[in-house]
Amino acid sequence: MDPPSTGTLQSPSSHSTGSKTGSSKSAASSVEQREKDMDLTKDNSASPIDLECHIQCERITKILDEAIYKAKLSICLPELVKEYRLLNKVLSPPHMDDLIFIFEQYDNPLFSASLLNMAVMDDLKAGDLSLKNRLNPELGHLLYIMNSYPQLRPRVEEMIEKAKAVEKHAPSPGLEFLLELERFRDLMVWQMETTAAEELAAKINTRKLEASNEQLILRIKEYTQILKEESDRFEQTISLKAEIIQKLEHELAILNYDATVRLKKKILDSERQMVLATRTHAVKNEMLKEEEVQTRDEYENLLRQHLIEEKNQRARRFKVETQLLSWLQKYDIEMSDKQVELDEFSQKYDDEVDKCEDLQRQLAEQDKEYIPLMAEREEEYHQEMTEKMNKFLMEHAARVIQHAWREVLINRAEKKKLRKLLKKIQSAAPPLELLAGKKGKK
């Protein structure tokens, strides 16, 4: 588990104001009010059990706040790592180097199966948590680094608020988990704030509600009986109204008969009016015949004028056609001259095309000689480089062997010196028997 950081050890009331809903804010304000009302310096202010419960409540709320913030940080981590300027301002240079190293390792991992190099296990046991010896670092360390800087908290909260606003109707799984965790935290705070007396009062209220519910059920039964009686009365009124409707239908039939008689009278009156209208139409017909004779005379005059105009238009058309024929003949003469020029240009074009094809054939023949020469040159260059590489490897191996042999000679010389020193020390020290004899004389 990650060690606790300075950015997560905050009071539940201060943290809830920035990240919780309205219910969490009210719960936090009630906790603050209780803390203000309760003076822990006095002897008889609260019992030890209440103090212990209060302390445990604060611990649990801090743990849940820390878990909620870590969940928010993990959700915002893909977007937060893109803000290089903010991270460069807030994070320290060693942590910034660790982040860059993690990104490089996840872009180009050295090994996908192992997490640590076994050669640095002793350094990690000794307390060296540097990431330089990790081959595939976990994102947990990245989360630990981000969590250790409280300056990033406002930006994380802002990202979460934006995500909540955008994904309001269809939240992602991570955001849905965060919302459920916040609801659990609010429910836990409310549950810890409720006392035994409040729970007992809630039970008593539920019992009272059950009793009132039974009384309401009895009233509902009474009201249903009343509704049945009213429905019976309503059916009786409907039957009375049906009888009234039958009477009204009979009256309606009588009225229809009267209406048909009146309609026949109106038809006779309309026939009389039609006879009068036909007489007036005959008079108008005679007047229209006179107008027809006048219009025929006017039509004949207009027809004569139009025939004269048609003759003039035909003469003009003949002139235009003759002029058009002359222009066409002139166009044919000019196009014959242009056709000769076009044939000359096409002949020149064909000649140039033949020259280009000859040049392409020559280039193809030159490529047959050029490509093998380039291949031979490439092989010679490759052979030369392989010889240089083999020579370099041989020289390097010789140097390594010489260095190892020198170390062996140095170790042998040191061992000889140690043996000579041990012999000198043994020769200079007095024998054990003489020491024992001196002790006996004393």
User: Is 184 domain-assigned?
Assistant: yes
Our count of domains for the chain comes to: 1
Q: Which range has the worst mean pLDDT, 14-23, 34-43, 91-100, 276-285? A: 14-23
pLDDT tens digit sequence for 251-305:
998 988 888 888 888 888 888 888 888 888 888 888 888 888 888 888 888 898 8
User: Is 34 domain-assigned?
Assistant: yes
Cβ distance 133 to 123 under 8 Å? yes
pLDDT tens digit sequence for 352-368:
888 888 888 888 888 88
User: Is 270 domain-assigned?
Assistant: no
User: What's the confidence (pLDDT) of residue 131?
Assistant: 47
Whether the pTM exceeds 0.85: the reply is no
User: Is 205 domain-assigned?
Assistant: no
Provide the mean pLDDT of the chain.
Answer: 77
Q: What whole-number distance in Å separates Cα of residue 61 and Cα of residue 184?
A: 11
**Does 133 have pLDDT greater than 80?**
no
Structural domain of 60:
12-197
pLDDT tens digit sequence for 168-191:
777 788 888 888 888 888 888 887
Q: Which range has the worst mean pLDDT, 271-285, 297-311, 387-401, 427-441? A: 427-441
Interval 114-130 mean pLDDT:
50
User: What's the confidence (pLDDT) of residue 105?
Assistant: 65
User: Is 185 domain-assigned?
Assistant: yes
User: Is 238 domain-assigned?
Assistant: no
Contacts of 6 (CB under 8 A, 6+ apart): 148, 150
User: What's the confidence (pLDDT) of residue 87?
Assistant: 80
User: Is 57 domain-assigned?
Assistant: yes
For 438, half-sphere exposure in the C-beta direction (CA atoms, 13 angstrom radius) is 6
User: What's the confidence (pLDDT) of residue 15?
Assistant: 37
User: Is 80 domain-assigned?
Assistant: yes
Interval 205-209 mean pLDDT:
89
